[in-house]
Structure 1
Amino acid sequence: MKTLIFMAAFLFCGFTASAVETKMMIRAKARDAKFIGSSLGGAHIIVRNKVNRQILAEGNTTGSTGNTDLIMKTSKTRGTSIADPQTAGFLATIDIEEPVFVSIEVISPLNNKQAQAVVSTELWLLPGKDILGDGIILEIPGFIIDILKPRTHQYISLSSIKGKPFPFQANIVMMCGCVIDKGGIWNSDEMEVKGILKKDGKYLKDVHMSLVSTNLFEGNDLLNTPGNYELTLYAYHEKSGNTGVDKVNYVVYE
């Protein structure tokens, strides 16, 4: 009897698959720019089992934005890597017993809510079949825009600005944090940056913005009447299709 039980247990174990550690490198890359890493707070990665939505791995990308020459200036052919060992990524390590269909969700930039985008993809993950090197790269479109002037819900006395140009100011970077400069790789001359100004809910005028130093855009206009103002500031790059928006509300009072 004991012999039969032992044989049954042996056969059962022989047909039971054991979990295998499987690694997958996941990276987030800004459209028309570099990788999203530690300098920007990282991109948040979630890997789920597509069937039951169980989270299999979760974390942030860490590392550098990558090699500028390799990413932005080198001609690409099949099999050419654009990531080096320092390039930002998230290494997911997952124990699976059989092929699993997974969804990968990237939330980025993690610390800039007004610019945050979510992109995702799906693929089969096979036990023991690692996906390394460049790994899975998801592209994040857009710009990160932070309006610096005026401040949110700032109260401004009409007497202090009447007859004077009122300053508008914004900081704009690529989704990887890469710099925008005149004549640079990310050339401000190729970008349209404009503010749309409303007063008491109605369109008032456009405010044209221009680069004054790295990443910093400024414009100004005359505000001669009190009211509740809203500034919607956007950036647009026709070649890449990148867009970005930030909004601020402020009050001009007598």
Structure 2
Amino acid sequence: MPDNRGFAIRLWGACLPAVLLFAAPALSEPTPVTVRVISQDAKFVGDSTGGAQVILRDAESGRILAEGITAGGTGDTDRIMQSTGRSPLRATDDAAAFYATLDLVRPTLVELEVKGALGRPGSAVKVTAQRWMMPGVPMTTGDGWSIELPGLAVTPTASIEPEGLRITAKVEPMCGCPLTPGGLWDSADYEVEASLWQGGQQLRRAELAFVSSPGGFARTLPLQASGRYTLVLFARNRVTGSSGLGRIEVQVP
């Protein structure tokens, strides 16, 4: 009877490299990605308003691939605001961004979550987007992965004055760009309304007037009865519809 052991050994030796190839874990490939966050109708969100939080996740598993905060300037005003055409290049080297290198082993649906502006926590909003990424293929072309952050930042203050409750609001896009009369972000395009709430009920509402640059709105209201109130300031751009809100607690003695 022929001895097949030698043949079997030779066959196993020939197949072993292929077996090891399929058994070995896949090696990850460094995959660079650049994320930029641009304020609606304005410029990039960076240092001037605390930046935007960035989280990149594997959309299927939920595993965090990278996270951080955008850093840098708001970018070149003319290049951004006068850009036209399809997917215009708006970023310059100094424009705020978050840079990361993802270790991908397979085609991955990546979810981008952005929250900001971090320096305006009372008005911060969150947005998400998804993109397919391939191992080793950079996501850095053009402006990188650019996402729009909608809304306005509203910073309210209130004080008890002899004339009544003095209310002020600083209003700005999420990048901190200035609202001025006749400016690129024309203060005449914005309206700001104050409302007083107590126990879930709205007690009073009134529109604020623009009083100072950049983005200063104010009004004095008659004092309410003694008690604790929530003051809500809602700002809106009449042209774009962009809006934002800020609120604080007010104690009337």
- If the length of structure 2 is used for normalisation, what is the TM-score? 0.85
Q: Distance in 2 between matches of 1:248 and 1:53?
A: 35
Residue 57 of structure 1, aligned match among 40, 55, 66:
66
User: Is structure 2 residue 37 aligned with structure 1 residue 23?
Assistant: no
Three-state SS of the structure 1 residue aligned to 2:146 is strand
Residue 34 of structure 1, aligned match among 22, 28, 43:
43
User: Is structure 2 residue 95 aligned with structure 1 residue 87?
Assistant: yes
* 2-11 or 200-209, which deviates more: 2-11
Q: Distance in 2 between matches of 1:41 and 1:224?
A: 35
1:131 match = 139
1:153 match = none
1:117 match = 125
Q: Distance in 1 between matches of 2:200 and 2:132?
A: 50
- One-letter amino acid matched to 2:218: E
- One-letter amino acid matched to 1:206: R
Write out per-residue CA displacement over residues 197-244 of structure 1, whole angstroms, 9 at most, x where no aligned residue.
346764443232122221221111222643333321110112222111
Residue-pair matches, total: 242
Paired residues for 1:191-202 under 5 Å = 191-198=190-197, 202=201
Write out per-residue CA displacement over residues 123-157 of structure 1, whole angstroms, 9 at most, x where no aligned residue.
1110121111211111111111111223xxxxx5x
Write out per-residue CA displacement over residues 52-106 of structure 1, whole angstroms, 9 at most, x where no aligned residue.
11111111111111111011123x1225301111111112211212211111111
Q: Distance in 2 between matches of 1:6 and 1:88?
A: 56
Of all paired residues, the percent bearing the same amino acid is 32
Q: Distance in 2 between matches of 1:212 and 1:30?
A: 24
User: Is structure 2 residue 18 aligned with structure 1 residue 11?
Assistant: yes
- One-letter amino acid matched to 1:121: A
Q: Distance in 1 between matches of 2:249 and 2:36?
A: 36
2:3 match = none
Closer, same or farther in 2 for the Cα pair 1:70/1:13, shift >3 Å? farther
Q: Distance in 2 between matches of 1:106 and 1:55?
A: 13
Q: Distance in 1 between matches of 2:72 and 2:10?
A: 57
Report deviation, 1:113. Answer: 2.3
2:181 match = 182
Three-state SS of the structure 2 residue aligned to 1:220 is strand
- One-letter amino acid matched to 1:236: R
Q: Distance in 2 between matches of 1:97 and 1:201?
A: 51
Unmatched segments (≥5 aa) in structure 2 = 1-5
Q: Distance in 2 between matches of 1:30 and 1:207?
A: 27
- If the length of structure 1 is used for normalisation, what is the TM-score? 0.85
Three-state SS of the structure 2 residue aligned to 1:104 is strand
User: Is structure 2 residue 223 aligned with structure 1 residue 223?
Assistant: yes
Three-state SS of the structure 2 residue aligned to 1:114 is coil
Tell which structure's C-alpha radius of gyration is larger: 2
Q: Distance in 2 between matches of 1:225 and 1:171?
A: 27
Unmatched segments (≥5 aa) in structure 1 = 151-155
Contact persistence 1:194–1:208 (CA under 8 A) = yes
- One-letter amino acid matched to 1:112: R
Report deviation, 1:251. Answer: 2.4
- One-letter amino acid matched to 2:109: F
- One-letter amino acid matched to 2:165: F
Report deviation, 1:248. Answer: 2.1
User: Is structure 2 residue 45 aligned with structure 1 residue 46?
Assistant: no
Three-state SS of the structure 2 residue aligned to 1:129 is coil
Cα RMSD over matched residues? 2.4
Closer, same or farther in 2 for the Cα pair 1:5/1:200, shift >3 Å? closer
